[in-house]
Structures are given as C-alpha cells and as structure tokens.
Amino acid sequence: MNLTVNGTPQTLPERMTLAELMVRENAASRGSAAAVDGVVVPRRSWEAFMLSDGSSVEVLTAVQGG
Amino acid sequence: MPDPFTIAGIEIASRLILGTGGAPSMQVIDETIVASGTAMCTVAMRRADAATGGSIIDVIDRRGVRVLPNTAGCQTAFEAVRTAQLAREALGTDWVKLEVIADERTLLPDPVELLEAAGQLVGLGFTVLPYTNDDPVLARRLQRIGCAAVMPLGSPIGSGLGIQNPHNIELIVSEAEVPVILDAGVGTASDAALAMELGCDGVLLASSVTRAQDPALMAAAMAAAVRAGRLARLAGRIPRRRHAQASSPLEGMAVL
C-alpha cells in the first residue's frame, strides 16, 4: 500500500490501521494527532481506522511555540 | 499572595502566560516555567518528523501547568480550524490560542480570517482565545461572537517593541466583558508592567523570556513586573499634571 505521510511517499504493509501507523511514526503518545485526506481522525477511532492505498496522512505533534 | 483570574469559568492561578517558542532547550523551558510561576503554557502543532529535542508536553505535564495549543502559522480560517481540531485531539483540550496571520513578514493577524475562524471554532465548542490586532472594534466583534478572552498585540510578534498604542489597549480593556490578555511585543519587564497598569487581566509572552540572555532570570523579572503592574492598577495611579505639585507642606516655612 502506498501512502503519503507528512508529504513523503511511503510503501507500507496492506491492512494497516491508523493506530499502527502512529506507533510507527513514534506519535502514539499524548500530544499527537492525525488527519487522513484532510479529515481529523479522533484518537478513539485510530484502532478501527483502516488506511487505504493512496491516502495522504498528516501526523502532527505538539512542539515549542508562542 | 495568589491573584488568579478566570477564563471561561476556569481559574488560572497566574496572570503570566508563557509561550514556549524560541527556547534553546527543554531544560530552559522547564527553568522558565518554574521561575515565572506560570499556570499556562502555549504550544504549536507541527508535523511529527519536524519535532526535535524531546517532548514539550512531558515538560508541561510534569510541572502541572495547563497547556494552550495555538494555531501559529495558519493564514486562513480553514487551516486554523483544522489545526485547532488536531490540537484538541492531541492534547484533550478545547482551549485554543487562535492565530490567523496575514503574512510571514509582519505576522500581523488577518482580521477577516480571524473573525471567521473564531466564529467557526465557537460553534464547534472550542474555548477561543484569539490573538488579535490592538483594534477595539475587532476586539468587540470577537467578544460578541463568543470568544472567551481577547488577546491584543502590543507590537508585532517577537519584535520586543513593547506597547505601541497604549490608548487602544486601554480602550479595549474599558469595553471588555471577557479577560484581556496582552499578547506579543513585550520586550522587557516594564512592558509587561505597563500592560497590567493599563488594566489587562494578564500577559502572554514568549520571545522576551526564551531569547533573553538568561531566560530563567527574565522569567522571574516578568513575574515580578506582572505583579507590580497589577498592584499599581488596583492601587490607582495619581493623575498626570502639567505642573509640579509639592508633597511637603508649603505653610510653616521658616523665615531665613
């Protein structure tokens, strides 16, 4: 399966959940969030959210900022 | 002596809100949180692969201060609303420091996009603290639309130019039905004191502390300045006069 994660194309295993991707991106802890194809996916839905080929995922985390 | 204030029914124990941007390390942020006595710190949301140097959330959580995510860098209402939604999921708070800037050179708020974003976020159940121009009319509109506070700039972000239009800040304060927090432009302690003397409920600052030569020492200075300004506001300053007014009695002078 081909995904774009934070702007970078990636080839990932089939049948991957968003929760699994967040662990892989080291962004599963408090302070991180995800949007798939421009839609914010609530944390409680990550486990059930199956990623699909061609999707674009933004993985964000809290950083220093004014 | 504690001197809390209230935003959206939540008591905030310190009137100094600390931005965490610009600090050279997490260690410095930790030291400034302690030295400032702050009860709330801002964070930004960025792509996870751009994050470096440990977790800001760990530092903030460890010190038991409230986290206030911002929408820094957003230039449209659409981007700002999406960013606020991501921050809500990431941090479990519906509070947001709403920033919608017009361009990267001035970092000035775009009033049209700001008001639009504020309205949408209030509708989505957010507690919205907008970073706004020092424009009393825009401040009024932001309150009317349901913002929980208004946060006018003293001068552009990171400029350290202080409060360029104190009359406008006073006017915003005089009309406000929600807390007014001076946000942006503070360069040194006297700027923070002036904000409080003008009647602001709090001060939000980042660069003046995080980029100071000794950030923790400046954080302590800011805490003292906010406190001093607040006390002076409560005490009521003397009116300005055109001419001198003796404080020693004029009667009973010796004839020499």
For residue A17, what is the domain's CATH number? 3.10.20.30
In a domain, A66, yes or no: no
Q: Compute the mean pLDDT over every residue in chain B, rounded to the nearest whole number.
A: 94
CA of A11, closest CA in chain B: separation in Å? 17
Q: What is the pTM of this model?
A: 0.91
Q: What pLDDT score was predicted for residue A26? A: 83
Domain count, chain A: 1
Class of domain B5-235: alpha beta
* pLDDT tens string B56-99: 998 999 999 999 999 999 999 999 999 999 999 999 999 999 99
Give the CA count within 13 Å in the CB-facing half-sphere of B17.
Answer: 31
Q: What pLDDT score was predicted for residue B50? A: 57
Q: What pLDDT score was predicted for residue B54? A: 66
B49 and A6 within 8 Å at the Cβ level: the answer is yes
Question: Quick one: pLDDT band at residue B14, thresholds 50, 70, 90?
Answer: very high
Chain B residues in contact with A58 by the CB 8 A cut-off are: 47, 86
Domain map of chain B by residue range? 5-235
pLDDT tops 60 at residue B51: no
Helix (H) or strand (E) holding B32: helix B26-36
pLDDT tops 70 at residue B52: no
* pLDDT tens string B181-233: 999 999 999 999 999 999 999 999 999 999 999 999 999 999 999 999 999 99
What lies within 8 Å, CB to CB, of B108 at 6+ separation is: B101, B102, B133, B153, B156
A25 and B49 within 8 Å at the Cβ level: the answer is yes
The β-bridge relationship of strands A56-64 and B40-47 is: antiparallel
Give residue A45's domain range: 2-61
Q: Which of B97, B141, B227, B233 is catalytic?
A: B97
Rounded distance between C-alpha atoms, residue B167 and residue B116, angstroms: 26
CA of A33, closest CA in chain B: separation in Å? 5
Dihedral angle computed from the Cα positions of residues B102, B105, B108 and B114, in that order, rounded to the nearest 10 degrees: 20
Task: Give the amino acid at B256.
Answer: L
- Interface pTM, i.e. ipTM: 0.89
Q: Which of B135, B167, B162 is nearest to B151 (CA)?
A: B135
Length of chain A: 66
